[in-house]
Amino acid sequence: MMFDWRSPKEWNTLWRYYQAGIINTAFGYGVFALLVWLGLNIYLAQIISHVLGMTFNYFTYSRHAFVGQTTTRTRFVLSYAGNYLLGLATLRVIASFIASPYAAGFVSTVIVSLVNYFVLKRLVFRPRDGA
């Protein structure tokens, strides 16, 4: 099951994910927007902001959203490699419909973040042994 709608623990994890996610998104999108404002190509800005954001996100998710669970940096990095490719594809599609690189980056970020929760929850962060 992807999400147990009746579990208060599941809802608490989702709430904590979005709390961290708001901060993570503000950080990542802020870096993206700053780099675009400085004149970088949107795709170069996206990869730089993605790598910096991934590092930032590792700490916020592991210490807030999925506290008490275990992961490896390898699983986290691999999930974010997939996340990056999804984000790149989404940005390309969205940018073909939305002229503003800022709006296209934002819409892409929102879409990819929804997928990211389930990847992190089911594939990356695991309950500790005996928990």
The span from the CA of 118 to the CA of 65, in Å, is: 13
Q: pTM higher than 0.85, yes or no?
A: no
pLDDT digits (tens, 9 = 90+) for 71-96: 888 999 999 899 889 988 999 999 99
What residue spans define the domains of the chain? 8-124
The token pair that represents 50 in the structure block: 């993605």
Cβ-based burial of 62 (10 A; exposed 0-12, middle 13-18, buried ≥19): buried
For the four alpha carbons of 64, 54, 90 and 1, in that order, the dihedral sign comes to negative
Q: Which of 1-5, 51-55, 57-61 has the lowest mean pLDDT?
A: 1-5
pLDDT digits (tens, 9 = 90+) for 16-28: 888 998 998 899 8
The span from the CA of 42 to the CA of 47, in Å, is: 9
